[in-house]
Amino acid sequence: MKCYGRAALCDFLGERIIYRGLNVMDERLPGLEVIRAMLGLTNGALPRKTSLEYAQIVVHLLNEARRLDGKKEALQRVVYIGDTLMNDGMAFRNICQMGGWQGAALITSEDQKPTRLEAQIDERAMVFQNNHWLNLRIFATLLEVKGMVIDEGTAVLIDVDKTALGARGRNDASIDQARLSAAKATLHEILDHNFNQDEFQTAYNLLNRPVFHPFTADNQDYLVYICMILSCGLLELGEIQAAAQTNKLTTFDEFLEQVERRSAALPDRVRAVHREVYALVKTGDSTPFKQFRQAEYLATVAAMGQLAEDASIEEMLASEILVTREVQEFALLCADSGALVFGLSDKPDEATKLNSPSSRPLHQVQTHVVGGMNERK
């Protein structure tokens, strides 16, 4: 494995990146509310990645981009590159269904075992599970063998988080560490001397487990908010754990209402954050802890490209959020073949740019590019 210089997401995905808010960085394409009106979608909640409405909106954007590029041939197939079988795999299948397209997906989580490519194939979609990012270099050839050519009739969708950036199994811990650092910085700013880092880490580690996802909705805004409430002593971790495990507390909304009833006892700064979170959740905003997400942007950027050029690959993998060389190569190869290339990310918009006109968007921030073969020492 080696370093291939520096690059930003925009160097190989351009401005065609869709974050959680479903508004493309390419401002020539319609925004979410315009698309909803065009498609007659009335549900006010922001659709998540695994929903059919999300797929319907993505399909519409792909077709609009196709027309914007002056291409007359309709899209016929979709290729998806991701890192999780459940979220990315379901999003991919939904997009195939809503677009009426054939498709193939490569889902990669790297390990040190011999190469394993396992395929799930049905009438419309092929999903390959893979354990080495390097295999992306032969994926286009594999698709040709399966009768699927990447050309002007193809839309190529590339997951951003833990795929294009911070490859799962290789460099994903750096993304998690940046988010955790942002959570700590946010709560330290709010709680000041009342913030106990060890107690926070205990609560975060416990409640971040899948068994508590029905309660936390696997939503980092909710989780960090819960840890804030626990840190200020309004509720105890033990009672929350017991209530969640015995189904006496089944949703984040129930927790939020408990806090609301006792909000007068909160410290002033915590109460102000609670009021904002409470109000935003009631409007259907799934990213209500704005202060935390802005801190996540800062922590993410701070972990991108900060090392010297002569730093070791091991040091880069451990402490930077890196561009995945194999994904970069694949995106450029597909673009050269005439395919429509888009990036997809579940990262909230608030974690991709500061609320400042001078802030540089995340997809324009350069970092080191690492990957390749037979170079690991």
- Tell me if 248 is assigned to some domain: yes
- Tell me if 116 is assigned to some domain: yes
Do residues 287 and 192 both lie within one domain?
yes
Q: How far is CA 271 from the centre of its chain?
A: 29
- Tell me if 303 is assigned to some domain: no
Q: What is the pTM of this model?
A: 0.93
Range of the domain at 111: 2-169+322-371
DSSP state of 205: H
Do residues 181 and 123 both lie within one domain?
no
Do residues 164 and 227 both lie within one domain?
no
Cα angle value 266/46/91 (rounded, 5°)? 125
- Tell me if 256 is assigned to some domain: yes
Do residues 271 and 132 both lie within one domain?
no
Task: Compute the distance between CA of residue 255 and CA of residue 244 in angstroms, rounded to an integer.
Answer: 10
Do residues 157 and 232 both lie within one domain?
no
What are the pLDDT digits (tens) for 145-179? Answer: 999 999 999 999 999 999 999 999 999 999 999 99
Do residues 137 and 190 both lie within one domain?
no
- Tell me if 309 is assigned to some domain: no
Q: How many domains does the chain have?
A: 2
- Tell me if 198 is assigned to some domain: yes
Longest dimension (CA), the chain: 65
Q: Could you tell me the strand order of the sheet in which 323-324 lies?
A: 2-7, 367-371, 323-324
Q: Which ranges of the chain does DSSP label H, i.e. alpha helix? A: 10-13, 32-39, 52-68, 87-99, 139-145, 173-191, 197-207, 213-216, 220-231, 237-245, 252-261, 268-282, 290-302, 313-319, 325-336
Q: Is the pLDDT of residue 374 over 80?
A: no
Do residues 209 and 191 both lie within one domain?
yes
Task: Compute the distance between CA of residue 108 and CA of residue 126 in angstroms, rounded to an integer.
Answer: 14
What are the pLDDT digits (tens) for 347-360? Answer: 999 999 998 888 89
Q: Is the pLDDT of residue 376 over 60?
A: no
- Which residue in the block uniquely carries the two structure tokens 């922590």? 299
pLDDT at 358 (0 to 100): 81
Q: Which two tokens stand for residue 257?
A: 């209402």
**How much is the average pLDDT of 179-198?**
96
pLDDT at 339 (0 to 100): 97
| Residues in CB range of 88: below 8 A, 6 or more apart | 49, 80, 82, 105, 107, 159
Instruction: Please state which of the ranges 43-47, 85-89, 165-169, 233-237 shows the lowest mean pLDDT.
Output: 43-47
Mean pLDDT, all residues of the chain = 94
- Tell me if 90 is assigned to some domain: yes
C-alpha distances (whole Å) from 291 to each of 23, 103, 109, 278 are: 21, 39, 31, 14
pLDDT at 88 (0 to 100): 96
Do residues 126 and 178 both lie within one domain?
no
- Tell me if 23 is assigned to some domain: yes
Amino acid at 188: H
Do residues 163 and 236 both lie within one domain?
no
